[in-house]
Structure 1
């Protein structure tokens, strides 16, 4: 009898992708665009300046191996944030706060799992779309996993509602300062212009995401054997028993501290330019506060923190290796070559097909440029002039970029936030890929329809600049 094919460990899959990227540096022509340094310190490419390198760089096997520790150093902000959150949440659970919160949520949503799923997808999408939250969701994963287990659901449902909200929020964002504002600024169209369309499509796309997650959850509720993670160990697996402690005053005080952390984090991100280092510091402060209020001894709190960090050590490794894929391509000078090669065919398509082509291109490039703002600085200066030539207004170019960057965030293994979320929930990447791919296809089809209609109805014609970005970008 033929043996069933066994999907390799996620680490092996990521290392294999690094090898493919390494081989590509030998096969893909190496080249680069000239770049300009903007007033904000970011670099943007100059359209029409792509040139092949006179002498190709040949990365050696040693270069490949050195890229691994370099990738860990490059992703250190996400890695250490994940480890800190894991340790702090372990302290919170030792006080009984996490279990008590799950018990309280069960009382409210225990018989309405569909309402829980919708509210999480909606609220996370709203937050991502408004202020660009992403890594901030990692602390909620453990709570949602425990809640889902207690409701006879599974870890995949918890990850599904979290990542779906995050990805859709970025994809159809009306206000996101890291994507919408950056891309519109580069395109030289008014900031937040065209907001009416993005607000109009928000709820329909949220409903697509909710329907996908709820359809899966219903199958698990009907028969636990339908769970994609049924045979896997899961954090808070004991929460299948719903004998949770009551939410007392100490628990409420600790949760109030968590709410304060979230408010401070949102303020810091939006007003002070904070990111993961500062957020990690705020969570450490909450951990100390939690240990004091929860009356944990110093040794107990320290031991719990170390246990929480150890539980996420494998996740930290995956995040580091995932960063290595893009690093290899940057070292081999093929990242700009890929962008140039993908953008060339678009000028030969009609406006509607070109808009969809830009969307597909942005989706693929997100694998290699997982930073939303970084992707905007590389691709928008190239695609905006192409759109000018073939009748795709810059507002549509920005929308195609948003769709491509946001939706693919849900599935690309180079996205450190995604790897952190599935790692905390104990969901292997290959299983997540199987769950998410049908959703991504649905979202891409819906987004393609929106782009075709946007072109047909001259979306963005009222803010289209008369001077070409290419001319203005030339030094």
Structure 2
């Protein structure tokens, strides 16, 4: 991995903007007829027609499209900053860290429960509120507990990363992936939760089996470890974690209540990012008062949390500008037309699975879930209309492709950082996780086929 030099995602998105500008010049301009159906605009199959040559986009549009992209995605960008700040305030109360730390300690004496319980905790956090880099502080604790049980570093990181990957891949209502993609595809936010939960449970079983089978093999024969020659870091020790106080339980209860309120609002009151941002902001204020946190400390934590998501916000703006260039050039329907033709010939099930593998490939270049949604969903949603894949299924294909491969692609900074902390060479991690990825993708391909056949929406 040391020899690999992958450009920053922002550079890749800038290159994609330049490519979109070129396409706006090269491709013929065309459009589909559209109709209103079930409250959203859909393209009508067989109605694509070339447009009379209109004025092409100006080369300088490459630079004006980017600020326009930020303006077009402003609601999402502001929401990202709000949720980042709110979550930082929640973390500052200590309740989340205390809960996870104590839970891992209690599970540490029970190998199977340690693997399954730990994976569930990390997966739920990713599936619901989009946790990822927030798990990094728990890496030393996981390593110490795993090694103390006779396992190895890969077992510890497998619990964390496989859980986190499943959480993103079968996310129930992750605000950074599912809700954004559903909004772009004009699908009711948080809809289709039952099917996602069922898929999530199946993937958890597959993930626990994969990690626990490896862990028991290493425990029986330490030489079977993929990192048998890597010396554990002396700093990998169980640090003392404080007991959960009544105040912590109240903080956790209020957080769960806020999440439940958001789910209700999304499903029944047609809420979206403004209302969700308001709930998280209100939760932050209540937690500050409840825990008697100083206003200055809370403000610093909020700003720090928002700042940590600046890169995500930038990627969203740069990704949204790609669509602006294609729309201004009147070639986005041309792209949809030519891509949909081979998929239509293959059938809707093959098309849905094809979308999954396309999104998985995209994740190598755009590991940001929000950024990838803005790049791909404006194209995938209308393609789905044309090939018989409804938009809910297209969103599912996107989130699986984005989420599962997060724990494989070397462009994911969170994964690379965790592997470095655990002293796991990238190629050995691939040997461990790649079979799981294949099994999980097979399960997800079957799930997509079922979704298409049953008309799930």
**What's the CA shift for 1:377?**
5.6
Distance 1:25 1:159 in 2: 40
**What's the CA shift for 1:249?**
2.0
Q: Is 1:166 the counterpart of 2:163 in the alignment? A: no
**What's the CA shift for 1:247?**
1.9
Distance 1:117 1:77 in 2: 34
Q: Which residue of 2 aligns with 1:379?
A: 383
Q: Which residue of 1 aligns with 2:52?
A: 54
**1:407 pairs with 400, 405, 408, which one?**
400
Q: Is the 8 A contact 1:72 1:320 kept in 2?
A: yes
Q: Is the 8 A contact 1:142 1:425 kept in 2?
A: no
Q: Is 1:246 the counterpart of 2:239 in the alignment? A: no
Q: Is the 8 A contact 1:64 1:328 kept in 2?
A: yes
Q: Which residue of 1 aligns with 2:328?
A: 331
Q: Is 1:286 the counterpart of 2:283 in the alignment? A: yes
Distance 2:163 2:43 in 1: 36
Distance 1:202 1:94 in 2: 29
94 and 214 in structure 1: CA distance in 2 versus 1, 3 angstrom threshold: same
Equivalent position SS for 2:403: coil
Q: Which residue of 2 aligns with 1:64?
A: 62
Q: Is the 8 A contact 1:45 1:378 kept in 2?
A: yes
Q: Which residue of 1 aligns with 2:137?
A: 146
Q: Is 1:355 the counterpart of 2:349 in the alignment? A: yes
**What's the CA shift for 1:287?**
0.8
Distance 1:201 1:225 in 2: 34
Q: Which residue of 2 aligns with 1:470?
A: none
**What's the CA shift for 1:348?**
4.7
Equivalent position SS for 2:292: coil
Distance 1:310 1:121 in 2: 23
370 and 110 in structure 1: CA distance in 2 versus 1, 3 angstrom threshold: farther
Equivalent position SS for 1:296: coil
Q: Structure 2 matches for 1:236-315, cutoff 5 A?
A: 242-315=239-312
Distance 1:216 1:310 in 2: 38
Equivalent position SS for 1:410: helix
454 and 107 in structure 1: CA distance in 2 versus 1, 3 angstrom threshold: closer
How many equivalent pairs are there?
400
Distance 1:4 1:371 in 2: 28
Q: Which residue of 2 aligns with 1:114?
A: 115
31 and 265 in structure 1: CA distance in 2 versus 1, 3 angstrom threshold: same
The more displaced of 354-363 and 306-315 is 354-363
**What's the CA shift for 1:93?**
3.2
Q: Is the 8 A contact 1:117 1:213 kept in 2?
A: no
Q: Which residue of 2 aligns with 1:321?
A: 318
Equivalent position SS for 1:409: helix
Task: Give unmatched runs, 5+ long, in structure 2.
Answer: 144-152, 363-371, 420-425
Q: Is the 8 A contact 1:355 1:451 kept in 2?
A: yes
| 1:245-271 deviation digits (Å, cap 9, x = unpaired) | 332222222222111111111111111
TM-score by length of 2: 0.68
Q: Is 1:137 the counterpart of 2:129 in the alignment? A: yes
Distance 2:87 2:416 in 1: 13
| RMSD (CA atoms) | 4.9
Equivalent position SS for 1:36: strand
TM-score by length of 1: 0.66
**What's the CA shift for 1:347?**
5.4
Distance 1:448 1:52 in 2: 35
Distance 2:135 2:85 in 1: 17
Distance 1:441 1:268 in 2: 36
Q: Is 1:340 the counterpart of 2:334 in the alignment? A: no
**What's the CA shift for 1:56?**
5.0
